[in-house]
Amino acid sequence: MNIAFASSSGMAVDQHFGWSKSFYLYRVDKETHELLRVIDSSHEPEGEKEKLDYKIGTIEDADIMYCTQIGPMASKMIQAAGVHPVRVAEGESIEDAIVKLQEMLNDAPAPWLLRIFHKAQARENA
């Protein structure tokens, strides 16, 4: 699965989705993870809808996106684009978030997580 983290430093989730200037995109599976790239999302257009379309477009390779906050319109738009938003407390370590996600995958994954995991596996095996 590809996971985008709204982060200013790459160390912790510390950004609101709509205000984030960068996302750190990781590939995560049950045992391993790797940073794929840092996504610069600072060249946003004017207008709320255009800005949200742009932000969503920058993370189109993600299956899940972690942030500290996300507005209701952005949440609906990001889900319609096939990305599952997850809100976490500001300052949560990206490493800790990945470990928690892997523990959920290995123990008793929630239906939403299992669906995303299988979709990502099918995409990678295609």
Predicted confidence pLDDT, tens digits, the chain (126 residues): 999 999 999 999 999 999 999 999 999 999 999 999 999 988 888 888 898 899 999 999 999 999 999 999 999 999 999 999 999 999 999 999 999 999 999 998 999 999 999 999 998 888
Residue 45: the pLDDT is 85
Cα 1 from Cα 28, distance rounded (Å): 5
Q: Per CATH, the architecture of 2-125 is what?
A: 2-Layer Sandwich (3.30)
Closest CA to 117 of 56, 63, 37: 63
| pTM of the full structure | 0.94
The 10 Å Cβ neighbour count of residue 76 is 13
Residue pair 17/51 in contact (Cβ under 8 Å)? The answer is: no
Q: What is the dihedral of CA 30, 56, 85, 12, to 10 degrees?
A: 70
Where do the domains of the chain lie? 2-125
Cα 118 from Cα 7, distance rounded (Å): 26
